[in-house]
Amino acid sequence: MATANRREYRAFEEPAPAMRRCDHPDCACAGEFRAPKSRQRLNDYWWFCLEHVREYNRAWNYYQGMSADQIEREARRDTVWDRPTWPMGSWRAEQRLRTRIYESFAEGAGDNPFHAGREAQEEAKQGRPPTEQESAMKTLELAPPFDLKTLKARYKALVKLHHPDANGGSRDAEEKFKTINHAYSVLKAGFAS
């Protein structure tokens, strides 16, 4: 009975696939290795034997027939995997900034044409939430640039002013004191790194 089962199983086996011949003219070897037919048809292949695929690869130039500018564009697209890119952050704020800068150049913005660009940058900053460092500087009423000595002096002055003991244990003074301490630790950490 075991032999009968084996015979039945063999009857259902798939036949061995036919050997694909090498696409090189006058070659009777098996075509086991694929090679793209052209730059425009990268998913359409020639099938070659090992000897002929090596020969094909040595002679094939992907950029053949392209100008230097076309090659440069192709290389730039390949660096981002042929996907569109845009600046980081809000593209709308970026667009507003560029529009303001171009308009200021067209109007001839006085002696310094970049001045209007800085104003547009400040407006773009106002459209986004402030960073933790910007909030901390606002809390401590500091403007860049400042050094560690200035930071410590400003912190001590604000602590003396808003300490809960100096304000009769006021809850508002206590909350302000906490925000001052947090702001100081954020800015001090910036100097440490």
Quick check: is 154 in a domain?
Answer: yes
pLDDT in tens, 94-123: 677 777 766 766 655 544 444 545 555 565
Name the band, by pLDDT with cuts 50, 70 and 90, for residue 124: low
Quick check: is 85 in a domain?
Answer: no
- Tell me, yes or no, whether 159 and 141 share the same domain: yes
Quick check: is 117 in a domain?
Answer: yes
**Contact call for residues 135 and 185 (beta carbons, < 8 A):** no
Copy the structure tokens of residue 3. 């032999």
pLDDT at 111: 46
Tally of domains in the chain: 3
Q: Which domain holds residue 28?
A: 2-79
Rounded distance between C-alpha atoms, residue 66 and residue 73, angstroms: 11
Its pTM stands at 0.36
